[in-house]
Amino acid sequence: MSIDKNAPIGVFDSGLGGLTAVRELRRLLPHEDIVYFGDTGRVPYGTRGVETIIKYGRQDVAFLLSKNVKYIMAACGTVSSTLPKSCTDALPVTYTGVVQSAAAAAVSATGTGKIGVIGTPATVNSESYNKAIKALLPSAVITANKCPLFVPLVENGYFDEENKVTHLVAEDYLAPIKAAGVDTLILGCTHYPLIKPIIADIMGSGVALIDPGYETAKSAKEYLAVADLLKSSGNGEASYYVSDSTESFEQLSNWFLGEYAGGNVTQISVDNYEV
Ligand code: DGL
C-alpha cells in the first residue's frame, strides 16, 4: 500500500513532554500536519513496569494509526526504550523513537568520550542509550542516573529557571554525573528540555546538552525527504489529543510548544485501541 505524503505525522508521549519534539518538527517542517497524542491521564510511564509501558505504547501507536498518519514518532524516551522492535517493525508506517538520534548526536558532540544520560527509571534500567552509544563509540564511558521526580515537576509547571525546588532536585540527580566529569549529557526524556536552563546552570557551560526531540525531528525530516514523503506546500496544522482534561493542556502547552500554541485539543480514551 502506498503512503500518502499529504497525510499527517503522528507524534505521541506519555504526557506533554513530546510537545518539545512537535515544536522542532513545526519549525523544521512548516508544511506538515501533525497529530499529537499525550497520554496525560496515565502519565508518568517511566516509573511503571515494562509490560504496562508496552501495553500503553501499543495503544498510543494504534490511536495514531487510526488517524491515518504517514510516520510515527514516539517522542518519549520511555516508550522508545521499551517497545520491542518486533512490535514496531510490524507497523504499516515507519516508526521511530528518540534514542538513536540522541545517541548519535552525543557521540558527535563528545570530545572525551565521557557521556552522561539522565532519564526515567524505565529508560535508565533498559540501558537503551548506553547500548546505542556503545554501538557507535565502543570506548565511551557512560554515567546514567534516573530522575523520577522531573516528569511530575515539569507536568505541574515547575520548570521556571528560578524554581528552587526543581533546582534542588536537579542538583541531587546530577551530582554523580557531574562527578564523573562528562562533557556531554543526554536529556533522555522529552520532558527535560523544559528544565534545560536549570540543568545547564548545574552542569556548567563546558557540557553539551543533547535534546532527543530536537535530534529526532531533524532525523525525521531527513527520513521523510529520502522516502519522498514530504508535504511540500500549505500551512501545516496540528491536532492535539489528550487522555485527561484539556484544561491543563491548554495551560501548559504554550510553554512546551514555544511560540506556537495553535491547533485543537480533544480529550479521548485510547484504552480500547490495540495494534
Ligand atoms: N517524556 C517521557 C519520556 O521521554 C516521559 C516519561 C514518563 O512518562 O515518565 O520518557
Domain 9-97+214-267 sits in CATH 3.40.50.1860: yes
Q: Give 163-215 pLDDT, tens digit per residue.
A: 999 999 999 999 999 999 999 999 999 999 999 999 999 999 999 999 999 99
The whole-angstrom separation of Cα 275 and Cα 270 is: 12
For the chain, the domains span: 9-97+214-267, 99-212
pLDDT at 252 (0 to 100): 78
pLDDT at 210 (0 to 100): 98
pLDDT at 142 (0 to 100): 98
Neighbours of 60 (CB within 10 A): 31
Residue 229 has pLDDT above 90, yes or no: yes
**Strand ranges across the sheet with 141-146:** 141-146, 114-119, 184-187, 208-210
Residues at CB less than 6 angstroms from ligand 1: 13-15, 17, 43-46, 76-78, 120, 123, 151, 189-191
Active site residues: 76, 189
The whole-angstrom separation of Cα 51 and Cα 38 is: 19
User: Could you tell me the pLDDT band of residue 157, with boundaries at 50, 70 and 90?
Assistant: confident
Percent of the chain with pLDDT over 70: 97
Q: Give 231-264 pLDDT, tens digit per residue.
A: 988 999 999 999 998 887 877 787 777 765 666 8
Task: Assess whether the region 9-97+214-267 and the region 99-212 belong to the same CATH fold.
Answer: yes
pLDDT at 145 (0 to 100): 98
Cis peptide before 8 (omega within 30 of 0): no
Highest CATH level, class, for 99-212: alpha beta
Residue 185, all three cell numbers: 549529557
Mean pLDDT of all residues belonging to the chain: 94
pLDDT at 263 (0 to 100): 66
pLDDT at 262 (0 to 100): 61
User: Could you tell me the pLDDT band of residue 51, with boundaries at 50, 70 and 90?
Assistant: very high
Q: Which residues contact 245 (CB under 8 A, 6 or more apart)?
A: 40, 267
Which of the listed residues 16, 78, 194 should we mutate to test ligand 1's pocket, taking the one with most ligand atoms within 8 A of CB?
78
pLDDT at 232 (0 to 100): 85
User: Ligand 1 atom 6: the closest Cα is on which residue?
Assistant: 46
Q: pTM, whole model, 2 decimals?
A: 0.94
What distance in angstroms lies between residue 2's CA and the mean position of ligand 1's atoms?
A: 32
Residue 242, all three cell numbers: 489528550
